[in-house]
Amino acid sequence: MDDLLNALADKGVRGETPTRDEALAVLRTSDDDLLDVVAAAGKVRRRWFGRRVKLNYLVNLKSGLCPEDCSYCSQRLGSRTGILKYSWLQPDEAAEAAAAGVRGGAKRVCVVASGRGPSDRDVSRVSETIEAIKERNAQVEVCACLGLLADGQAERLRRAGADAYNHNLNTSEATYGDICTTHTYEDRVSTVERARGAGLSPCSGLIAGMGESDEDLVDVVFSLRDLDADSVPVNFLLPFEGTPLADEWNMTPQRALRILAMVRFVCPDVEVRLAAGREVHLRSLQPLALYLANSLFLGDYLTSEGQAGKADLEMIRDAGFVVEDAATTTLPGHRRGQRADDGGGADGPDGVNEADGAGAVSAGSRAGGADAVADRPARPHERVAVRRRGAGTELPPNA
């Protein structure tokens, strides 16, 4: 085991990619080896990103009512999750929500809208929103997450001031049809390529915990490496009640850390972001994940609540890390040279409908405790807290 981890650390420090067999071996290490795995991947993280943690903030521009059938998503067609549903926020409303995240320390704001993909009118709407956000906070990076892009739409977003575009692959090509039938894996790949071709920093990630195999996880991460994504959000499934994957509670904190370590080894010089479900699945081991990921979402997510923004900042400080400021470029210089600008990585769960992006859970949360649904067996974790504050409500956001 020591030989494997030393070899992986050495490759990562040089910016080299491991073999598939080495990546699989990381996922199959024992809990006894967990701290050694974290330490080896931590060397790679420190080589490229030091002690910096980039903060990102989500603004859900339009929630729910999506025509796509992604099995993991609380905004999917036919969802019975009870999430907030609202149409487009006005540009000034979105700018105000974004400003809350910036005040909390966020360097990048991700504007997200549910749906298959934007119409030309939607692109105009989002362009106005991007301009409004940048009028208030000129230095903030803006990532758009709007779903499948048609020809020319990425260029329009770029001209409006967008810095990045997010569209997650989510799982391996071989199993994509098992989680969604209304669009294809290739549709997603094409959107990431359109964004990159327009000069937007490409962001694409995965969702772990949907019943996939170790081989599926390795496949999707190597595909992300091949796509040359600047940013890789690592989501851990939140099994929302009312979705087809509601019973998929199969993630442990130790497995979540091994997955993050594998992603870091395969993508050594890329922004790896803690995204959906970190609070639920990593729980008290969240600080260890900072030794692997160099980025996270601050506060709440699209349709669920995260831990308090203040707690995020305390966790970063207590673990010995520092918040990355607006004047610092995120990616190493050799990667920045590939983009038209910094390319610090885009944000978040997929704008089509990645409401898996997810939040804190607590006993007696607004989403209900373990006894809220009496006819089901007890979950191994507390239930997901559906977002009831921030964008689309009269309550202040969590940032």
Catalytically active residues, by annotation = 66, 70, 73, 110, 143, 203, 273
Residues contacting residue 246 through CB under 8 Å, at least 6 positions apart: 239, 240
Residue 275 DSSP SS3 = coil
CA distances from 50 to 45, 95, 219, 246, 374 (A): 7, 31, 28, 38, 48
267 assigned to a ligand binding site: no
CB atoms within 10 A of CB 197: 11
143 assigned to a ligand binding site: yes
**Contact in structure between 298 and 309 (CB atoms under 8 Å):** yes
Residues contacting residue 316 through CB under 8 Å, at least 6 positions apart: 53, 290, 322, 323
Residues contacting residue 140 through CB under 8 Å, at least 6 positions apart: 98, 102, 106, 107, 108, 109, 133, 134, 326
Question: What distance in Å separates the CA atoms of residue 285 and residue 253, rounded to the nearest whole number?
Answer: 7
Residues contacting residue 182 through CB under 8 Å, at least 6 positions apart: 67, 68, 69, 70, 77, 116
Find the length of the chain: 399
Helix or strand run (H / E) with residue 280? none
73 assigned to a ligand binding site: yes
Residues contacting residue 215 through CB under 8 Å, at least 6 positions apart: 24, 172
Instruction: Name the binding residues for [2Fe-2S] cluster.
Output: 110, 143, 203, 273
Which residues define the annotated binding site for [4Fe-4S] cluster? 66, 70, 73
Annotated binding site: 66, 70, 73, 110, 143, 203, 273
